[in-house]
Amino acid sequence: MAEENNNDELVDLYATKDGTVDYKGDPADKHKTGTWKACPYILGTECSERLAYYGMSSNLVLYFKHQLNQTSATAAKSQSNWSGTCYTTPLLGAFLADAYFGRYWTIAIFSIIYVIGMTLLTLSAAVPGLKPTCYGKDNCHATASQSAVCFVALYMIALGTGGIKPCVSSYGADQFDDADEGEKMHKSSFFNWFYFSINVGALIAASVLVYVQENVGWGWGFGIPAVAMAVAVISFFSGTRLYRNQKPGGSPITRICQVLVACVRKYRVQIPQDKSLLYETTDAESVIKGSRKLDHTSDFRFLDKAAVEIPSDSNQDPWRICTVTQVEELKAIVRLLPVWATGIIFAAVYNQMSNFFVLQGELMDTRLGNTNFHIPAASLSIFDTISVIIWVPIYDQMIVPLTRRFTGHNSGLTQLQRMGVGLFISIFSMVCSAILELVRLNMVRRHNYYTSDEIPLTIFWQIPQYFLIGCAEVFTFIGQLEFFYQQAPDAMRSLCSALSLTTIALGNYLSSFLITIVIHITARDGKPGWLPDNLNYGRLDYFFWLLAVLSGLNLVAFLFVAKWYTYKRPVGTLKG
């Protein structure tokens, strides 16, 4: 018996305190699992997956236009709708991860679906009969069945990415124990380097794969990302023994619904002044259910009714009586929603890199200096990636220590402050884009370049708008990743990561919606409107100014939301 007690003490000494387990289901040994030992496999997976994703998405608008023979506006909408779906399916993957499979198996299963989709897309661009019939480089015709195969492959990829996007960042953060101050300090750095690895993959995609697609062939251009995705799967499985895994906490949707139903049933019940009288479980029971206990907060008081005990609650029916922690989980989700909503406009701005930035660049001088080497328009997104790769180390190694002196916050800026800076910077990206387009259109009018495929204005003038978006990403997207992970209830972290990704989905759909509205309003009575098929006849600069104004209004709304927001507090943390 004494020996058994000693073994239990050793397990307690070496085990993590956040309830994570190893691949066998035993309490995770903090000396043998997790931290930076496990992260290289996760970061390698993300780098390879992003190389595959951006290897497709960076140039997809031109594939739709030149290979599937779509108009500029239709191609932009098709790309936006597909990209939006890629950021909507994470809700499904996150639900399955939090409720049933856990993050490890969700990533594994959906990665295999992703590889199958990539393989089918490669076949649709390489196999005679499946690929469009071309009578020249940009003179192609795709039958309805050929287009269908292409879109089936793309939306299978969108399904596959739905299990990866919401889980990989959270899974990486799970490798650091929140209850260990030493490990907790590294978690913020993990999000920075996680986003760094994303952009290493994007850098290779924009510099190499886009060139391959336009100069070697689309079959090779899609085949290389398919191989990269297979490498991502191998990388992920290689680290299995080192991972820490959070147990699924049951359906998060059910937990939320239980609070709402209990509130409605007790709408006449008075909430006690003494909050200690509200129902709560023990710490051990809380960990078993997948969440640390949360401190009670005073906002959204109506929801507290779900935790008020009355005589009829003796059987502890979860649809009649909920814990304070369960109530606070719902409050945390409600608080996240306004912050989430302010990310949609930024995502619409970010989406322009894959749409109108590419179409704008295609009509400029794409030669490298005085040579005959032409740079693919989509390759200019490399400067967004370079911007991120430059700013991540600067932020992590210089800005954080500097701002920490003034704010006293471990991460320098709070997550909301960081996001606000990014929203501010994004406005100037749209301003730069609008000014450049105005200069380009003035040159078109002065020299009658309306029917020209390119005008003598170098594409490198697009660098500032890409660079500014990259800078804004480092502040907004990374801040958003960390914010939604840290502020999410423990058992709903994948779901909240997916929720943050849906801002990108809605941003893509918003971009598509704005294109539709702008065309409907401006292209009347025979006028070309702002966004005709030949942009030399349009006013793309007005579209960029519209996004700049919307971004400014969005920033004002964000400042109000950030001032109102109350940060989540697990039991035992300091207030304030």
Q: What is the DSSP string of 515-551?
A: HHHHHHHHS-TT---SS-SSGGGS-HHHHHHHHHHHH
Q: What is the DSSP string of 192-218?
A: HHHHHHHHHHHHHIIIIIHHHHHHT-H
pLDDT value, residue 291:
57
Give per-residue pLDDT as tens, 410-461. 777 888 989 999 999 999 999 999 999 999 999 988 888 877 777 888 889 9
pLDDT of residue 11: 47
pLDDT surpassing 80 at residue 567: no
In the structure encoding, which two tokens stand for residue 408, read together? 């006293």
8 Å CB contact between 230 and 288? no
The answer, yes or no, to whether residue 318 has pLDDT greater than 70, is yes
* pLDDT score recorded for residue 428: 94
Average pLDDT over residues 233-260: 85
Report percent pLDDT > 70 for the chain: 92
**CB distance 52 to 229 below 8 Å:** yes
Residues in contact with 195: Cβ distance below 8 Å, sequence separation at least 6, in sequence order = 388, 392, 473, 474, 477, 478, 481
CA distance 106 to 86: 16
8 A C-beta contact, residue 203 and residue 382:
yes
Question: Is 468 a residue whose pLDDT tops 90?
Answer: yes
Give the pLDDT band (50/70/90) at residue 1.
very low
pLDDT band at 542 (very low <50, low <70, confident <90, very high): very high
Rounded-to-integer distance, Cα 404 and Cα 395, Å: 12
**Amino acid residing at 163:** G
41, 244 contact by CB (below 8 A): no
Highest-confidence segment of 98-102, 311-315, 476-480:
476-480
Q: Quick check: 8 pLDDT over 60?
A: no
Q: What integer pLDDT is reported at residue 576 of this predicted model?
A: 34
Q: Give the position of tokens 């004002």.
A: 556
DSSP state of 452: -
Q: What is the pLDDT of residues 35-83, one digit of tens each?
A: 888 888 888 888 888 888 888 877 788 888 888 888 877 887 888 788 8
The 10s digit of each residue's pLDDT in 257-285 is: 888 898 888 888 888 887 777 877 665 44
Residue range 165-203, pLDDT digits in tens:
878 888 888 888 877 777 777 776 787 788 788 778 877
CA distance 29 to 526: 70
Mean pLDDT in the chain?
83
Q: d(Cα 475, Cα 115) in Å, to the nearest integer?
A: 31
Residue 494 has pLDDT above 90, yes or no: no
pLDDT digits (tens, 9 = 90+) for 283-305: 544 444 555 677 778 888 888 88
Under DSSP, the state recorded for 306 is G
**Mean pLDDT on 110-133:** 90
Average pLDDT for residues 72-99, to the nearest whole number?
83
Query: Which of 23-27, 30-34, 552-556 is predicted most confidently?
Result: 552-556
* 393-421: pLDDT as tens digits: 888 888 888 888 877 777 778 889 899 99
Domains of the chain: 35-248+342-564 (1.20.1250.20), 252-327 (no CATH)
pLDDT (0 to 100) of residue 570: 56
Question: What mean pLDDT comes out for the span 152-169?
Answer: 88
